[in-house]
């Protein structure tokens, strides 16, 4: 089992105790849970994707509508990583906690489907997903098939609607777009009804999603944060662990389930 400094070990013990005592648990996950699986994050100062690209030029709704070819050229190498990535120990730990009903819902900012690949079932993808695409003309929704992705990755072909031939847009939330309404409403309701929220691998900088931990605290939930770097909610967390989520979460899960 992973060995930690005393302060982190004590914080894990405290977190596990809270999770055993409280019944309605929500996990809130960000890019930090998927970086150990080889998926780059967007905002870290040294390696984030937005240090290499201007987001409004490649990942905004305006950019997509004006130059879908430029959008897909940007998405192509990222899609390759997203579709080849496998869940890491942190994803599997959360799936186990959900299976044992210590966590009821996972609210994620990620679009990589790794929670589902790890076995989690009740996942709210508040920034959308790459599992489907929608036609920009006739609005038919298409499953993201292996053929479409291989064609994009290997040949750079822009996905097009089989019904009308128009460009397909991945069902992910771009800049200038609203969050998926039903998913967001479920996330807010789940947050307000939770006994605790466990933030995992999120810097809590992206609005409006980063408001959910604030809403949890305002509703009386206990907030616990596991993240490599500081967040603006650190002073409101009952437990704070600065560490690698892929190392911390498996140990935490063992403590929750087996003491």
String of DSSP letters for 47-80? T-GGGTS-HHHHSBHHHHHH-HHHHHHHHHHHHH
Predicted TM-score of the model (pTM) = 0.92
| Model confidence pLDDT, tens digit, residues 208-236 | 999 999 999 999 999 999 999 999 999 99
| 189 and 113 part of one domain | yes
| 54 and 16 part of one domain | no
| Model confidence pLDDT, tens digit, residues 81-103 | 888 899 999 999 999 999 999 99
| Model confidence pLDDT, tens digit, residues 140-175 | 998 877 677 777 777 888 899 989 999 999 999 998
The residue segments making up the domain with residue 114 are: 1-39+87-127+179-259
Q: What CATH code is carried by the domain that includes residue 155? A: 3.30.1600.10
Q: Among 172, 200, 234, where does a domain finish?
A: 172
Q: What is the pLDDT of residue 48?
A: 45
Q: What CATH code is carried by the domain that includes residue 251? A: 3.40.50.1220
Distance, in Å, from the CA atom of 130 to the CA atom of 137, rounded to the nearest integer, reads: 19
| 15 and 29 part of one domain | yes
Residues found in the chain: 259
Q: State the pLDDT confidence band at 47, using cuts at 50, 70 and 90.
A: very low
| 14 and 58 part of one domain | no
| 22 and 48 part of one domain | no
Q: Between helices 245-258 and 89-99, what is the axis angle to 10°?
A: 30
Q: Angle 142-123-105 (CA atoms, 0-180°, nearest 5)?
A: 160
| 242 and 143 part of one domain | no
| Residue 178 structure tokens | 């609203």
Domain tally, the chain: 2
| 199 and 224 part of one domain | yes
| Catalytic machinery residues | 127
């Amino acid at each position: 089992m992973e060995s930690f400094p005393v302060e982190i070990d004590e914080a894990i013990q405290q977190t596990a105790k809270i999770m055993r005592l409280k019944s309605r648990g929500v996990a809130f996950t960000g890019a930090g849970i998927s970086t150990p699986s080889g998926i780059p994050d967007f905002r870290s100062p040294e390696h984030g994707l937005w240090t290499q690209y201007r987001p409004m030029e490649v990942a905004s709704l305006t950019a997509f509508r004006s130059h879908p070819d430029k959008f897909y050229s940007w998405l192509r190498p990222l899609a390759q990583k997203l579709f080849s990535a496998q869940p890491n120990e942190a994803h599997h730990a959360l799936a186990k906690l959900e299976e044992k009903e210590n966590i009821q819902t996972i609210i994620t900012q990620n679009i990589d489907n790794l929670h589902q690949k790890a076995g989690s079932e009740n996942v709210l993808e508040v920034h959308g997903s790459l599992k489907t695409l929608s036609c920009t003309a006739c609005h038919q929704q298409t499953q993201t098939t292996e053929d479409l992705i291989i064609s994009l990755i290997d040949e750079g072909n822009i996905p097009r609607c089989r019904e009308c031939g128009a460009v397909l847009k991945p069902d992910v939330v771009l800049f200038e777009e609203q969050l998926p309404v039903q998913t967001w409403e479920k996330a807010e309701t789940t947050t307000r009804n939770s006994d605790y929220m466990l933030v995992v691998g999120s810097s809590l900088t992206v609005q409006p999603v980063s408001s959910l931990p604030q809403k949890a605290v305002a509703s009386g939930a206990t907030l616990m944060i596991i993240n490599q770097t500081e967040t603006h909610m650190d002073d409101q967390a009952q437990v704070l662990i600065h560490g690698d989520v892929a190392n911390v979460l498996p140990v935490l899960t063992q403590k929750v389930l087996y003491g």
